[in-house]
Amino acid sequence: MQIFISINDILPAAALFFNLACFTGVPVLSLLGYLSGIARKKVFMFKMARQIARLGLLFIISTSLACAGLLGASYYYGPEADMWLEHHVFWESGLYICFVALVFFGFFTLCWNWLARVKWLHLLVGSVGGTACMLFAGILLWAVWRELDPLSPVYPQADSMFWPVLVQVYLLSIAAGSAAGLLYLLYRRNLDDFGRDYYRFVLGYVSRCGIFFAVVSPLTCIWLYFAGREVFMPDHLIMPGALFVIFLVLAVLLLLRIARSAHPLRNKAAIIVCPGVFLLVVAVRLVSYLEVADMAAQGEVLSTFMRDWMQALESWASGRIRMW
């Protein structure tokens, strides 16, 4: 029996997926800024890294609380509700990893002035926290993948279709984190008054980071094709893939407008809209990932609403052709 994934199922799942993307991408963006500050010896980069780190810590705290709450709920209601995800795969391991991310990235953010005296140690502490965030996202995605494909091994094999999906999730996470970072920097403009030159520089830098990782992310589709060419069903990916390209191009254009502007703060509308566009990117990509997982399970697990949309579009197109 196949599970049908409707648009009403995707929308809340996409919001959670976007939160997971920011949980992973925002700390990495902060660490990239810090590393760039060390390499370029630019004070602006350290200030930007500190601001973005605060946002990353907020996402880590919220995700850690959600993970702890869901773990507690699973103990009380799991046996009666027949919890979908296996506890030992995600809930317990995820809570431990979230705790590691919270401790190390919390030290990286809250002990900034003290740790910044030894920059390599400061970067190391933050890197442990950022790595824990990425590991948490990987474990969560693999837990869901295993539930969709119960015959898959305990750990993904080297030729698994899971790896290109995971790499693309990481790339899109940094791009989505850049969009969230732009909005946060706009919010902090009057609270952290570092001057117009500072915000002109860092908004352009964060926008360029988002553009780079957004543009590179589709390249993993080539890897995905070769990893799953024996079970690949392109018909199920045409519509979510087309929508992904449309929304991604729109997001890149918004970021490009901010990056190329001599006065980025005047592009408030683009800064505000950009996270919403990335939410749409994440939503349609989530549909694609579900379809890919279904392919890996030999097409016996689920179907999404995009298949119905594709059939309706084909029927409409064939009807128009007959009219002509």
What's the structural domain count of the chain? 1
Domain CATH for 147: 1.20.1630
Of the pLDDT bands very low, low, confident and very high (cuts 50, 70, 90), residue 151 is low
Of the pLDDT bands very low, low, confident and very high (cuts 50, 70, 90), residue 230 is confident
pLDDT confidence of residue 79: 52
CA–CA separation, 202 vs 261, rounded Å? Answer: 12
pTM of the model: 0.90
Amino acid at 166: L
What sign does the dihedral 100-104-105-109 (CA atoms) show? positive
User: What would the pLDDT profile of 186-212 be if each residue is shown by its tens digit?
Assistant: 998 888 878 888 889 999 999 999 999
Residue 323 in any domain: the answer is no
CA–chain centroid gap for 167, Å, is 10
> Is the pLDDT reported for residue 89 higher than 70?
no
Residue 14 in any domain: the answer is yes
Residue 130 in any domain: the answer is yes
Give the CA distances from residue 194 to residues 19, 32, 98, 197, in Å, rounded to whole numbers and listed in that order.
28, 20, 32, 8
Residue 279 in any domain: the answer is yes
Residue 50 in any domain: the answer is yes
> Is the pLDDT reported for residue 245 higher than 90?
yes
What sign does the dihedral 302-226-142-126 (CA atoms) show? negative
| DSSP result, 104-143 | HHHHHHHTHHHHTTSHHHHHHHHHHHHHHHHHHHHHHHHH
